[in-house]
Structure 1
């Protein structure tokens, strides 16, 4: 009879691939004691990862007694095969240590994967844009969905689901900005997607709030929920000039502006100033335009047309100044050279 386990009083619990009944025999044949029940006399509990994770009664009792070492089956096997015929040191076989090490390893793998994904777009020849609605810029291709979708406008309600939300940053004159849009497919039957983009100096990121082929109600709901979450107001109340109650911390103190609500940037209002040659409301966004008349329909946005000295509009043979309002910037499509001095995007 061997003496490998002469000072060991073991127990076991769990499924060991058909050799559970062998464990008592091996321990006793090598000078140890074996008991089925857990007691303060037990020195080692041999069990499985699953039983340890599930915290079954035998494991729970062993943890409570604290003096029992809860080890894996490998400890038993390696001890029996050891050249010096002594039990292996338990440290690397303790299930608590094994599971902790595995968790750390999984965490490290996730970090490696995340870093690899962040670095891949920067590698030459592997420039990739993860944003399906991202614009084409230097070194980055346009998003795969850009050419297949357009910003959704509810023609009946005369509402375009496109909102720019801004907030001043702490101690800076610059802003952080969210742009949330609902996109509609060019092809019928129409499918929809809601897209959110965040930007500030040195950082830009975006995400889809719905799948690319969502239905209209889901996309519009996601748009409105995001608008309220960022501004504290319902989308339908965006133009009522009533500010929401400010955010407060856990002590009830009002949060500073850079941590408070974003505000809706009314592009129609900015355009109105743009057409009249008025400086934009933000000191850093200046717009100056000189025009003697305007005779173009601007998608439902009201404007005043210039009049001559007799209170009549200029002759119809004069060319019109035509603006393209479908994109994020205001673009002049046609303009008489002597009427146009300078234009800039209100953003």
Structure 2
């Protein structure tokens, strides 16, 4: 863990961004205390969290050199988590535990599929030209669908608009693997690469912010165009942030201990934060703006604590992390 403090810090921050935006969007479902521009910024920050998650997981899997037994263990753990929470949801009829968010937009499902096809992914990494041609071919198919049969995102060709299909997030996972290889680790440490990341992160952020604002107020004419531009922004921003954090040397013992405490709970946070939000809001007065602001952080902290408590027991740990 110590050698990956910066990556784990980035993973923790990305999880915090996703959970914070969820909490904010739920508050605004009752009475929004933030203006549209602030909500756009929060949304912009939160959507980077998912590609970052897959990049960092791919990176760490490569660095740790997963064995076949490790992969089998992870697959079993993910299956157990999904079965357990589906049983819980079928038995407990309460608005504190909602089925729609328990798998965080398919993160667990996608990770399960990624590990199931792990040998294929390893071959894809060794044959990058073929892999690049595969992804280019899928995008070309979507573009052809656009040209010959005009589509919008509701038609969901190849499941891209729901962000749930394996090839999208599998691509980010492969990129993480490449960054975790010896050449990838040397690449991110280059002074010129670090300088480029520093120069790019703000312009990319500004471009992405206005692009997301445009998407929120305009109907997309081209599914392929929307998809390519969306992920070009996400990929560029994710890489820039990853490179910046990879070059941060965290020397503070306090920060290291905090990261080491929070990071193992991230999968659990994704699973339990929906329920934690609704439980905490029963204690809140929504007319108090200060409490609303505090809630954004409190939901994340409480979710981490719940996850860490569940991780203390080897039986409950199996249904909260993999």
Using the size of structure 1 for normalisation, the TM-score is 0.22
Structure with greater helix share of residues: 2
Give the greater-gyration-radius structure (CA).
1
Structure with greater strand share of residues: 1
